[in-house]
Amino acid sequence: MRILDRFISTSLSPLPRGPFTATIQTRFKKPANTAQTRLETRTRDPKLDVLAFHRRRLTLILGLYSLVSAKQRGPFVSLQLLSRWVPHAGVNTLSPGEFLRKYPHVFQVFTHPVRRNLCCKFTSKFVELLKLEEEIVCNMENVNVIKIRRILSMSVNGRVHLHAIRLMRRELGLPEDFRESVIRKHGEIFRMIDLEIVELVDWNENERAFNCSAEVEKWREKEFREKWLSEFETKYAFPINFPTGLKIVPGFRERLRNWQRLSYVKPYERVEKVRVRTCGGVERYEKRAVGIIHELLCLTVEKMVEVERLAHFRKDLGIEVNLRELLLKHPGIFYISTRGNTLMVFLREVYSGGCLVETNMVYDVRRKMLELLLLGCRNTRELREQEEAGEDRNDAANDEDGGGRKDGDFVIPILESYSGNNHGCDFNYQG
């Protein structure tokens, strides 16, 4: 048996033993331990992975909506033209027909009355939810001012590039024209240095007047009062929520306890000079980066954002580290999902069962959009009844007009479906 095993191992080796290779040494190759390997071998959270996948699909649909709504001829598009737009929107796994049939509560397919080709438009429920979200975001002007002010207060010199905020506009809950409606409107707080740089008007006075603290301070105060923990244990600690199935190696708990007690410069505190080479300087620098990312995620609506968009704040906020490696080092605070061909980071403490523990108005509306996607092909009888009712009304209108179709009548059903008179949006829907 030993001879057979030796023969198999010799025949499968890249350099089989022989008279010419007897003196060649085969060295043991140490397995690589990089951010990519740690990302592949991390402990998964299935509920957050599923949420990231459906959230990615919703983002693709919103990209299609922005393309369709920008058309001047009407809020609909032919399937031939949609087949050209779909690859640019990021839909590479499904054909346009399969994508439309998969979400009948979002897309409505109809035949153009003149050209007789298949076209699609968005359902009234989905459009009403988008309009409701836009209305809520526009009414949150004071909240948006505070968010931008907090981001500028965390920066190195009170300045942030505008394109970084623009990339996270929807995650932060900012309106599309936030540059005019928020920044330029409040000239006593913000000032545009260049076309793409915004800063606080007077950073020193703003820092004294706007004495804010990070969101994690509320958790620390609660732990200090309710659990009777010492200030030494809670002053610089973060809430930890490990995923199920995480392997605890020997010495991990002790290192975590020491890291929780390690002091660092908090996000809204002024940093004159970072001394990385001092005792514990690297750990303190990384812990400050963890605190800034934690606070930035707390400012978002859904407490999640793409890692690529976080990278645009590295220089402005002074967190010039490998973000993916830093996030993977702290699986109890952050979770990275790779579903949907993108890296999405979640704040673990605010999620339970794939849903936010404390919701907000914008999140509730986006959750209802997600429920329309999750319905799939279920409950489509109601959609067919509504389409048949609309066709009956059109036939009755043609009979009253003399039974003939006039020029321009093909526009009437399209306008009626977007007028909101056919059926309203059921905001109390439960998926």
Encode pLDDT of 269-284 as tens digits: 876 555 555 656 789 9
Q: Considering the domain boundaries, does residue 139 fall inside one?
A: yes
Shared-domain flag, residues 304 and 361: yes
Shared-domain flag, residues 334 and 299: yes
| Tokens linked to 397 | 């209108």
pLDDT in tens, 222-261: 888 888 778 888 899 999 999 888 888 899 899 999 999 9
3-state secondary structure of 247: coil
Q: Considering the domain boundaries, does residue 185 fall inside one?
A: yes
| Tokens linked to 51 | 């949420």
Q: Tell me which residue of 218, 145, 160 sits closest to 193, measured CA to CA.
A: 160
Calculate the alpha carbon distances from 221 to 71, 264, 293 in Å.
Answer: 52, 17, 20
Shared-domain flag, residues 195 and 220: no
Q: Considering the domain boundaries, does residue 385 fall inside one?
A: no
Burial code (b: 16+ CB inside 10 Å, e: under 16) for 334-356 equals: bbbbebbebbbbbbbbbbeeeeb
**pLDDT-derived band of residue 75, with 50, 70 and 90 as boundaries?**
confident
| Tokens linked to 170 | 């929807």
Q: How far apart are CA 348 and CA 246, in angstroms?
A: 14
Residue pair 183/198 in contact by the 8 Å Cβ criterion: yes
Count of domains for the chain: 3
Q: 343: which residues sit within 8 A by CB, 6+ positions away?
A: 306, 307, 308, 324, 336, 337
Residue 171 has pLDDT above 60, yes or no: yes
Q: Which of 70-79, 97-106, 348-357, 390-399 has the lowest mean pLDDT?
A: 390-399
Q: Which of 103, 122, 141 marks a domain boundary?
A: 122
Shared-domain flag, residues 203 and 227: no
Q: How far apart are CA 1 and CA 12, in angstroms?
A: 17
Q: How far apart are CA 310 and CA 306, in angstroms?
A: 7
Shared-domain flag, residues 101 and 233: no
Considering the entire predicted model, what is its pTM? 0.79
Shared-domain flag, residues 175 and 267: no
**C-alpha gyration radius of the chain:** 28
Calculate the alpha carbon distances from 341 to 52, 69, 93 in Å.
Answer: 10, 26, 11
| Terminal alpha carbon distance of the chain | 61
What pLDDT, on the 0 to 100 scale, is given for residue 431?
A: 36
**pLDDT-derived band of residue 110, with 50, 70 and 90 as boundaries?**
confident
Shared-domain flag, residues 278 and 313: yes
Q: Considering the domain boundaries, does residue 196 fall inside one?
A: yes
Shared-domain flag, residues 114 and 162: no
Shared-domain flag, residues 176 and 139: yes
Q: 366: which residues sit within 8 A by CB, 6+ positions away?
A: 58, 133, 301, 302
Q: Considering the domain boundaries, does residue 236 fall inside one?
A: yes
Calculate the alpha carbon distances from 35 to 40, 71, 246, 285, 312 in Å.
Answer: 9, 43, 17, 19, 19
Shared-domain flag, residues 153 and 216: no
- What 8-state DSSP symbol labels residue 303? S
Q: Considering the domain boundaries, does residue 312 fall inside one?
A: yes
Quote the domain boundaries for residue 324: 212-369
Query: What are φ and ψ of residue 172, in 5° steps?
Result: -80, -10
| Tokens linked to 183 | 């920044």
Q: Tell me which residue of 53, 39, 40, 45 sits closest to 241, measured CA to CA.
A: 45
Q: How far apart are CA 394 and CA 168, in angstroms?
A: 44
Shared-domain flag, residues 224 and 359: yes
Q: Which of 172, 191, 207 marks a domain boundary?
A: 207
Q: Which of 88, 122, 156 marks a domain boundary?
A: 122
Dihedral sign, CA of 422, 425, 430, 431? Answer: positive
Q: Considering the domain boundaries, does residue 335 fall inside one?
A: yes
Query: What are φ and ψ of residue 335, in 5° steps?
Result: -135, 130
Q: Considering the domain boundaries, does residue 41 fall inside one?
A: no
Q: Tell me which residue of 81, 62, 212 sits closest to 151, measured CA to CA.
A: 212
pLDDT in tens, 1-54: 555 455 445 444 555 555 555 566 666 667 777 777 878 888 899 999 999 999
pLDDT in tens, 202-218: 776 655 555 688 899 99
The contacts found for 112-118 with CB under 8 angstroms, 24 or more apart, are 112/78, 112/410, 113/405, 113/409, 113/410, 113/413, 114/410, 115/78, 117/78, 117/79, 117/80, 118/78, 118/79
Shared-domain flag, residues 104 and 136: no
The average pLDDT across 333-359 equals 91
